[in-house]
Amino acid sequence: MQTLNQLSALRNCLSPLRAAGKIALVPTMGALHDGHISLVRQARDRAAHVVVSIFVNPRQFGANEDLDAYPRQLARDAALLQAEGVAVLWAPTVEEMYPAGYATNISVSGVSEGLCGAARPGHFDGVATVVAKLFNQVQPDLALFGEKDWQQLAVIRRMARDLDFAQPHVSAILGVETLREADGLAMSSRNAYLTPQERAAAAALPRAMRAAIARIEGGEPAAPALAELERAILAAGFASLDYAELRDADTLEPLPAASPHPARLIAAARLGKARLIDNMPVAPI
- E-strand ranges in 13-100 read 23-28, 49-54, 88-90
Nearer to ligand PAF, 47 or 116 (CB): 116
To the nearest whole angstrom, how small is the minimum distance from the Cβ of residue 213 to ligand PAF? 24
Q: How far apart are CA 198 and CA 195, in angstroms?
A: 5
Residue 36 appears among annotated catalytic residues: yes
Nearer to ligand PAF, 141 or 149 (CB): 149
Amino acid at 101: G
Residues at the site binding ligand PAF, with contacts judged by CB under 6 A: 27-29, 57, 60, 127, 130-131, 149, 152
Q: How far apart are CA 269 and CA 238, in angstroms?
A: 7
| Beta-carbon count within 10 A of 201 CB | 19
To the nearest whole angstrom, how small is the minimum distance from the Cβ of residue 140 to ligand PAF? 13
Nearer to ligand PAF, 114 or 221 (CB): 114
To the nearest whole angstrom, how small is the minimum distance from the Cβ of residue 270 to ligand PAF? 19
To the nearest whole angstrom, how small is the minimum distance from the Cβ of residue 101 to ligand PAF? 21
Q: How far apart are CA 151 and CA 249, in angstroms?
A: 9
Strands 173-176 and 274-282 come out as unpaired
Q: What angle is formed at CA 75 by the lines to CA 71 and CA 79, rounded to 5 degrees? A: 115
Q: How far apart are CA 234 and CA 227, in angstroms?
A: 11
Check: CB of residue 198 under 8 Å from CB of residue 271.
yes
Nearer to ligand PAF, 130 or 204 (CB): 130
Q: How far apart are CA 198 and CA 92, in angstroms?
A: 34
Q: What is the CA radius of gyration of the chain?
A: 19
Residue of 11, 17, 27, 31 whose CA lies nearest to 174: 27
Amino acid at 248: D
Catalytic, out of 33, 36, 123, 261? 36
To the nearest whole angstrom, how small is the minimum distance from the Cβ of residue 187 to ligand PAF? 12
Sign of CA dihedral 254, 234, 183, 44: positive
Facing residues of 281 across strands?
264
To the nearest whole angstrom, how small is the minimum distance from the Cβ of residue 90 to ligand PAF? 11
Nearer to ligand PAF, 3 or 57 (CB): 57
Nearer to ligand PAF, 129 or 232 (CB): 129
Catalytic residues: 36
